[in-house]
Structure 1
Amino acid sequence: MRFLLLALLLVSPLCFAKTVVVIESYHDAYQWDADYIAAIQSELGESHEIHVLALDTKRLPKSEWPQQAASVQERVAALQPDLAILGDDNAFSLMAGYLVRRQIPVVFLGVNGGPNQHPELAHPLVTGILERPFFAENVRHLRKVLGQSDRFLILMDDSPTMRNAVTEYFGEERESSLYGASLDIVLTNDRDTWLQKVFTAHEHYDAIIVGTHHTIRDQADRYVPPAELMNRAFAYAQVPIFSFWDIFIGKQQSVGGFTVSAHQEGLTAARLASLILSGVAPDRIPQMRSLSGHYVYSRSGMAHWNLELSSLISSQSSFVE
């Protein structure tokens, strides 16, 4: 069955034009959302009517999520879509139950939670891609890039996405080891704590690997733009900063890593949606994990940190800037 599914994902089945809603947890100015939405549009946009609805949960306080979800539900009711694509955990938590109660098939991407958090994952109308950071692959890769460095700080916001990813892989431990390297894992939504960890990282670590940093707020509970955080981190960190996601790599951001691709997640979700829109039942399509990572590096970041890649790694990498 898995081989058949992978073969079907290579093509876009023919079907009559239908209405698809893409419900994003966040907002279209967030690069992760922009990348997967562009991929979905490229795969489905010529054949189907696509509507993108934003829950905006990285910027809105949690107290406003129910009202925002109700507004999105009203839009869905008016559109009467044939299928919904849900991006990330918050969209799944807020919308999946509503959608399946209305008998609307669901394809998800970027979901880190499991059945305990998201019971609708077991619903026959639901399938998709469980997003998983490449923890082990990144550490193994970076030890080669840095010359067997063995002390890493994994720094993330304390969002549902990051808590789910870390807990599934490491359990409740926040100190661990992989491939002979020691890891300290810090999850925080406090701006000062996040920055202090960056500024003092050289005292304890050889490198920082960042996860998402989009639910961080200052002492006045104001939302802190991710670019502001990364610009300060880039300017003042004394050890290189790597990333689990390609969207955080670039000028004055992270230097690189073995990363999850939002574009690839969007393409895969769109191809699953095509199967369903062509008549394949969702429960006939196995849920899968992120299919593959890729090496991405920033040329300016490599110059800033005086990093060089081996000819083999360089030949396998994509470069920004």
Structure 2
Amino acid sequence: MAVTIKLPYILYAVLLLFSLLSSQTLADGKKQVLVIESYHASFKWDADYRRAIEDTLQDHAVITFFEMDTKRLPPNLHTKQAKAAWERYLHSEPDLVILGDDNALKFLGPKFAKTRTPVVYLGINNNPRNYFEYTFLPKHISGVLERPLMKRSVMYLQEMSEKPVEKVLILFDTGTTSSTIAKEVFQGKSKLRIGSAEVHVKFIAKYDQWKNTIQQASTKQFDAIILGLYHTITDAQGAHVPSKKIINWTSKNTTLPLFAFWEFSVGQDMAIGGLVLDGYSQGKAAANLALRKLQNEANRRLEPVQNNQGQFIFSRSQLQKWNIQLPAHFQDKAIYLP
């Protein structure tokens, strides 16, 4: 005989299941943490810091994520994304919020300043105070600064190269992070001297211009190229060009050794490497601050952390392609990727 289950009983069972899950969460004593990403989960920087946050906090908190996707979406949609992120916060009422990278802090920091929710930021290239209307941040907001190791990278580049490195080209897109670096690191200069090298910095918005710059670099007597960011570049029609497509094309077509400032640019068919920053370290530092705030330090002022040690990370295939033999003191402390 067939058994018919009436809809109200199904709804009751579903509600009971959610109730039991909620009760279990409360019984475990876990807090709710919302991570608002400036970018997107498939971007390696985000993927790495997400993994670090989960590794550190999963025993203490239930973690949810919201992706603002501001590297792929045009700037005129960023405010809309920030509004959606704020709605997620209001709906979820988390115990703590983590803001990933400059756009999240820029758009949402001032709003969180008016709340009592503990906030931890990470990956901030700007001075965090520049995003607030105060001369100092509220005590419930702190985080991790990101300072790309550009000058040190150029110095190390001169050490690891057998040939003299006298002229270096550094390339960036024109996104928020790149614009901040232009002001904070290069102080608006397009040319400067680091050690014995003349360094030229170029900010590029369009893919055709990026290609032309790569193809013409050797004719302008550059000895090497260092990749900054290239994730907001668009084509002639204004459509976003996938970052993987850009770096793969660049690696294939450059006639000069290609180095990088960030670990997500290093690997097979990408850049050789160098002294780079990685997302996992940023996420780990932010998660440690978050853990302190969750463990009875929510209202205590915590000084920002400047996580700027960097790691020597190199691609074996790219070292082989460019016939680069690292000096012994680099080999001993380097991490190698395919």
Tell me which interval the TM-score lies in, with the shorter structure as reference length: over 0.9
- Deviation of 1:278 (Å): 0.8
Residue of structure 2 equivalent to 1:74: 87
Rounded to whole Å, the distance in 2 between the matches of 1:115 and 1:138 is 24
2:280 maps to which of 263, 272, 278:
263
Whichever residue aligns with residue 169 of structure 1, its letter is V
Larger CA Rg, structure 1 vs 2: 2
The answer on 1:110 being equivalent to 2:123 is: yes
**Given the alignment, which residue of 106, 112, 115 partners 1:93?**
106
Cα separation, partners in 2 of 1:252 and 1:217, compared to 1, 3 Å: same
2:310 matches 1:293: yes
- SS state at 1:278 partner: helix
Partner of 1:244: 261
Match of 2:37 in 1: 24
CA RMSD of aligned residues (A): 1.5
Would you say the 8 A contact 1:127–1:283 is kept in 2? no
Deviations 1:117-154 (A, max 9, x none): 31266222211111111011101110011133121001
Percent identity, aligned pairs only, is 32
CA distance in 2 between counterparts of 1:283 and 1:295 reads 35
What does residue 154 of structure 2 align with?
A: 139
Give the deviation of 1:105 after TM superposition.
1.3
Partners of 1:298 and 1:171 lie apart in 2 by 31
User: Does residue 236 of structure 2 align to residue 223 of structure 1?
Assistant: no
What is the CA distance between 1:99 and its match in structure 2?
Answer: 2.2
Is there any run of 5+ residues in structure 2 with no aligned partner, and where? 1-27
Cα shift at 1:22: 0.6
Q: Is the 8 A contact 1:126 1:283 kept in 2?
A: no
* 1:64 match: 77
Q: Which amino acid aligns with 1:215?
A: T
Give the distance between the partners of 1:281 and 1:84, measured in 2 at CA. 11
Correspondence 1:192 to 2:208: yes
CA distance in 1 between counterparts of 2:81 and 2:40 reads: 12
**After TM superposition, where is structure 1 displaced by more than 3 Å over at least 4 residues in a row?**
none
Distance 1:107 1:251, change over 3 A: same
Per the normalisation by structure 1, the TM-score is: 0.92
| 1:246-304 Cα shifts (integer Å, max 9, x gaps) | 11101111111100111011000000000111112465311122241000000111111
- 2:199 maps to 183
Candidates 150, 153, 174, aligned match of 2:169? 153
Letter in 2 for 1:214: H
Structure 2 partner of 1:3: none
TM-score normalized with structure 2 length:
0.88
The answer for unaligned runs of 5 or more in structure 1 is 1-14
**Residue 162, structure 1, aligned to residue 193, structure 2:** no
What is the letter of the counterpart of residue 304 of structure 1?
Answer: K
Q: Kindly provide the amino acid, as one letter, of the partner of residue 223 in structure 1.
A: H
Pairs aligned (count): 307
CA distance in 2, matches of 1:251, 1:50: 33
Report the 3-state secondary structure (helix = DSSP H, G, I; strand = E; otherwise coil) of the residue aligned with 1:117: helix
Match of residue 48 from structure 1: 61
Q: Which amino acid aligns with 1:53?
A: F
